[in-house]
Structure 1
C-alpha cells in the first residue's frame, strides 16, 4: 500500500503519557499516580462546568449549534471584537490545521523558533511545506528576521508563552516582528498560556485586539489550560474577518461536540476559576524555582503553568523521566526536542511535594 510521500518526513506527535499506562505497566494504583506532563489544570474544572455536563447529558445525541453563536458572542464581548473575527476549533491546534491547509503547499515554507510546539512542524509537513527554525528557542528578532528575509515563509509561528520551554515574548517585541514582516505572510500568535504570562508581567499580555490592526495576523486561544477544559477540546482563532472567512472553508461541520460547546459557553461567564488557577500556579512555581536554586539546577524563567529544568552532563533527562515514571510521577522528557531537560506541570501543593520527594532521591 502506498501512502503520501510527505509522511516519510513526519514524526508522530507524542502526547504526555496517560495515567492508565503507568497503572498498566508498573502496577501502581491510580490514586498514587501524579501526572505532571501535559500542562493540565491541577485543580480540575470549575464546579459549574460539571453541573452543565450533567444538565445537558440528555442532549448528547444532538449535533451542536454549528453557528456556535453563543460562544462566539461571549468571546466577542470578552475581547471586544466581532463574531465575524472568530473561528472555533477542536482545540486551538485544529485552527493551526485550518491555517496550514488554507495557505501551504509543496512550494511554501514556514518559520518557527528552534524549540516550540511540535504540531506547527507536523501540520506544515503534512502539506509538503518546508520547515525552517531559528537557532534558539527564544523568539529573537534578529534570528527571525534573518531567516524571514532568506526564506520568505508563508507562515510564521510566534508561540508566546512558548511551549515546551516556558519563556515569553513581550507584546512590544511581537509587534516589532509583525511590522517587520510582509503582509503576504500569515503570522500566528499562539497565546495558549497567555493567562499565566499576563498575570506575571503586564508587558507580556497580548490580546486579540492588539493584533486586529493587521490583516495577516491571527491570535490563538484555548480553554484547555487555565480554564481546565483540556478534555473538552475547545480553542479559537481571532483575526480580521476576511482571513477568518477563508479559514472557514477548511472547517468541517460540527467540529466540536454538543457538550464541549455548552461548557465553553459556561466557562466564559466567570473568570474567578481562572484567577484561582493562576494564583495557585504563582504560589507553587516558587517552590520549583527555589528547589532548582538550592540544587544548582538550571531552569527557564516560566510564564506558563509549567517549568523547564535544564540539566548538565551529570544528569540525563531520559533516565530521570524513566525513573520518575516507575515511581508513578509522569513528567515530560524534552530529549526529543534536542534538549537535556524535563518539563514539569506545576501541580497542587501535594502533587508538587510528591515530585520533589522522588526527584530528590533520584538525582541523589
Structure 2
C-alpha cells in the first residue's frame, strides 16, 4: 500500500497517557490515579455547563453557523462575529492555516521547542520547518530567520507549551512591525487566560492585534481553563479575509452539538474561570517553593503547568516511577530535554506529587 512519503519524517503526537490505560497496565484503581500530564483543568468545568447539555438534541446536526458561540466570543473579545472561526480544538485551526496557505516551497517558523502540532501539520503538507536555535521564544532569532528564509507562517506560542515561558505583548508588537503583511503570524493563546492574570503585560488583546496587524490570527481554546478538553472546541480570531479563506477548508459540522452547548455555557461563567486561575497560581507557588527547597530547576511559568529540570532528575526514570504509583506527568524526553512537565493540580493532588518525588529522591 502506498502512503504519503511525508509520513516517514513525522513522529506521532505524544498525548498524555490516559487514566484507563494506567488502570489496565498497573492494576491501580481509577480513583487512585492523578493525571497531571495534559494540562487539563483539575477543577473540571463550570457546573452551569452540565446544566446546559440537552441530550434530546443529539439526532440533529448542530447549527453550522455556530452563531451563538461566535456572538459570545465576539462580545468577550470586542470583535465582530465575522472575525471568528470555530474548530475542533485550536489545533484544527492550525491545520486550516497551513492548508489554506500551502504552496510550493512552503515554510513555517517556530521556536526551538514548542507545540508539536505546528511541525506535524506542516510536514504533512510537505512544508519546510524552521526552528530557532533557542528553545524558548527569542524574537531576535525569529527575526533573523524570517529575514533569511521568508517563511509563509510564523507561530508564536504565547505562553509557550511545553516550557511555560511567555512573551510580552509589547515585544510581539515590536516584532510584527518588521514582518511583511504577506506572512501569516499565528499567536497561539491556548494558555492566555493564565498569562494575562499573572502579568497584564503578557496579555494579548486579539481585537487590537488583528486591527493593527491584518496578517495576525489569534487562537484560543476551551480545552484548558474552561475545562472542556473532552469536548474539543477551539477558535481563531482574524481579519475577515483570513477567516473567509479558512472556512473554505473547514468541513461542515466540525464540532458536535454537545460541544457547542458546553462552550456557550462555559464562556458565560467567567467567575468560575477566575476562581480556577487564582487557585492555579496559589498551587503554582507551592511547586516553585518545593523546587527551590529540593534543588530542582524550573522554568517560571505563565500557564497551568510547570517544567522541572535538574541534573539529579532522570526525567524518563522519574516519570515512569511516578506512573507506577498512579501519578501521570509528562516526560519531555521526546523534545530531547531531561525535564518533566507537571500540570498544576488541586491542593490534595499536588501534596501527593511532592511526597512521591521526595520518596523518589530518598530511594535513588
TM range (shorter): over 0.9
Secondary structure at the residue paired with 1:359? helix
Distance 2:233 2:153 in 1: 23
| Equivalent residue runs for 1:168-183 within 5 Å | 168-183=166-181
Q: 1:209 and 2:215 equivalent?
A: no
- 2:147 alignment partner in structure 1: 149
| Equivalent residue runs for 1:266-281 within 5 Å | 266-281=265-280
| Equivalent residue runs for 1:123-142 within 5 Å | 123-142=121-140
Would you say the 8 A contact 1:106–1:127 is kept in 2?
no
Secondary structure at the residue paired with 2:258? helix
- 1:230 alignment partner in structure 2: 229
* Per-residue CA distance 1:317-357 (angstroms, 9 max, x = gap): 00000000000000000010011100000000000011111
How far apart are 1:301 and its partner, in Å? 0.3
- 1:40 alignment partner in structure 2: 40
Distance 2:33 2:12 in 1: 26
| Equivalent residue runs for 1:184-263 within 5 Å | 184-212=182-210, 213-263=212-262
Secondary structure at the residue paired with 1:343? strand
Q: 1:14 and 2:4 equivalent?
A: no
Distance 1:338 1:288 in 2: 23
Distance 1:177 1:192 in 2: 20
* Per-residue CA distance 1:187-207 (angstroms, 9 max, x = gap): 000000001101101100002
Distance 1:269 1:30 in 2: 32
Would you say the 8 A contact 2:79–2:207 is kept in 1?
yes
Secondary structure at the residue paired with 2:37? coil
After TM superposition, the structure 1 stretch with the greater mean CA deviation from structure 2, 189-198 or 172-181, is 172-181
- 1:69 alignment partner in structure 2: 67
Q: 1:315 and 2:319 equivalent?
A: no
How far apart are 1:61 and its partner, in Å? 1.5
- 2:327 alignment partner in structure 1: 329
* Per-residue CA distance 1:269-305 (angstroms, 9 max, x = gap): 2201110110110110111000000011100000000
After TM superposition, the structure 1 stretch with the greater mean CA deviation from structure 2, 133-142 or 92-101, is 133-142
After TM superposition, the structure 1 stretch with the greater mean CA deviation from structure 2, 264-273 or 13-22, is 264-273
Would you say the 8 A contact 1:105–1:128 is kept in 2?
no
- 1:93 alignment partner in structure 2: 91
* Per-residue CA distance 1:94-119 (angstroms, 9 max, x = gap): 00010010012441110000000000
Distance 2:325 2:20 in 1: 14
* Per-residue CA distance 1:236-263 (angstroms, 9 max, x = gap): 0000000100000010000000011111
How far apart are 1:92 and its partner, in Å? 0.4
Measured at CA, do residues 107 and 77 of structure 1 come closer, stay the same or move farther in structure 2, by a change above 3 Å? same
TM-score normalised to the size of structure 2? 0.98
How far apart are 1:42 and its partner, in Å? 0.3
How far apart are 1:137 and its partner, in Å? 2.2
Measured at CA, do residues 259 and 135 of structure 1 come closer, stay the same or move farther in structure 2, by a change above 3 Å? same
How far apart are 1:181 and its partner, in Å? 1.2
- 1:27 alignment partner in structure 2: 27
How far apart are 1:75 and its partner, in Å? 0.7
How many residue pairs get aligned? The number is 361
After TM superposition, the structure 1 stretch with the greater mean CA deviation from structure 2, 59-68 or 176-185, is 176-185
- 2:305 alignment partner in structure 1: 306
Would you say the 8 A contact 1:106–1:130 is kept in 2?
no
Would you say the 8 A contact 2:159–2:167 is kept in 1?
yes
Secondary structure at the residue paired with 1:128? coil
* Ranges in structure 1 where 5+ consecutive residues have no aligned partner: none
* Per-residue CA distance 1:197-241 (angstroms, 9 max, x = gap): 011011000021121121111000011111111111101000000
Would you say the 8 A contact 2:46–2:269 is kept in 1?
no
Distance 2:183 2:248 in 1: 19
